[in-house]
Amino acid sequence: MNAAVGDRLVVNSRHLDEPTRAGAIVEVHGPNGAPPYVVRWDGSTDTCVVVPGPDAHVEHPADSAAG
In the chain, the amino acid numbered 33 is G
The verdict on residue 2 lying in a domain is: no
Residue 24 β-bridge partners = 8, 40
pTM for the full predicted model:
0.85
Does the pLDDT of residue 28 top 70, yes or no?
yes
DSSP alpha helices (H): ranges in the chain? Answer: 61-66
The pLDDT of residue 14 is: 81
Domain that residue 51 falls in: 8-66
pLDDT tens for each residue of 1-11? 999 999 999 99
- Tell whether 16 is covered by a domain: yes
- Does any domain span residue 19? yes
Backbone angles phi, psi at 39, to 5 degrees: -120, 140
**What would the pLDDT profile of 33-65 be if each residue is shown by its tens digit?**
999 999 999 999 999 999 999 999 999 987 655
Higher pLDDT pick, 15 / 28: 28
41 Cβ partners below 8 Å, 6+ apart? 21, 22, 23, 48
